[in-house]
A and B are shown apart, each in its own frame.
Chain A
């Protein structure tokens, strides 16, 4: 199957009238008129079936066309263009300019946004501003990856496990569609083919620790491939390795964690959890299905209000778990009835610090202050070798478009800077134990786990 990419020559915008005067010399009314004409032409174009893989640049700005897969196209809605914000009042003009001048103005708009940010404090500058979804694809990117990148950037797929599984599944497709060029071997060349794919994914949303760990593992597997192996066999072998990785390190690991954490849950326990973690959800549902009488307090907070999703899944079904739902500031009033705090993790650093959804640190802190045990459910593949000392040095900001979608709150004047960090770091002192598939470990012993699992070098 030929891989359709943006590298194909783009079709010239048919809607653009020939010999049009320069934008600046036109009056406002003229511009508006021109824009109306362009819109009409575009609407007409949209009616026709689009040529596969070829992108109309004027349309590419508004609607990400995803490698000619109509299913995905309906699923990924066009995100509100960030240019709207940057240009404030003259939205119309801005959009028109970006529509007619190919890619140039898009860059200018991003620059304008970056400049706005730089008015703020310099200490926040390292967060970087969440990048708008870039539809300009550089290089040879597999459509599956382009699709995945869009899903990532719009938070359709979020959560460390989900993103890692989605990435590995996409890589399987990429590997199957790969052909080794002549005068090269798969074990040497495949990684150079994968790196731009990874770069593209990272440009959509910063890479999670889980993804990094999986990619590292994959690299080792690729370089260990026998040179003499038939190409299709090698690909199949790699796909099998990926499947095994997903099964062993994520799915089975979750089942073991479910059991380990379940052992700590007694009848009558009130379990408090924060936001949503897929593992915690499984633990709670499993405990409930074992007919343990538990009740759950779900604490939630902006920016993503993910707890509502957990609330839905716990209360749906024939026998709902008794749940209490509250926002983060209400936590201290609820803590005195809690027997255990159960939270998930995004990553675990070797000093025992837990990098998790923003707010987890406060929940653990308050629980520790009231002597409520805090259990963190975390698979060992989320362990990171590094050490992090606070949640400020490395973080990710949630893009405003995503936040608006999740919280339905009215717009604020743009003069206020909004910071929406997605993660924070829970110091190891607040954590009673980490529940992993190799048992319950105190956070101080985290550093020894990778070695115990057979990792030879630090």
Chain B
């Protein structure tokens, strides 16, 4: 269980005044939970992810993963970045195997394991390629395989599909769901796309900026339905999906209106 408990973050603005980036955010990610933080830019969702990853200390509150408080980055939390952050000088397979190398796994063993993961994300034939030879979507697949390689307790994904075209994006969403379904990993996922949040999350946290906070939560089962049926179109075109989409859109817009009125 990942438990985020009243997490608050204040940054220093340029003039030294504190900026309230994250305001007492609390939520839990249970076993095989898929939690999506949804919001416009500046709502603190990346701040939240950076805190869970251990890249950013909290001003107040706590983040506890399986009973241990999070202090700094670690291989128990795999991170997939918005920009792929692959090593451009390593081949695809060695990028995937990077975490295993740090863990002291022998070269032949980590290559074998990395190959398995590359097949899982559908890139078995690109093991020897260099990252710059791949498309954006393929690079993100490598990023996912790399994050999975160390068998983390949770996967943290920072708008991983934000830079992809909408067709590739849908393919990646479906790939991610199949990985989630097969590995039963916990996932914390950030997006600014309402549709993506609804389709992927078992729970969606709707966030609003200044200060960054959770303004609404939805427990959903579209993702489980997709995992069972594999029919994305009927899910996304269902009246239930559409009405939730409009409801969340209204929440995000009213938060925006409040902000501009203030």
The answer to whether A and B interact is no
**A residues near B, CB below 8 A?**
none
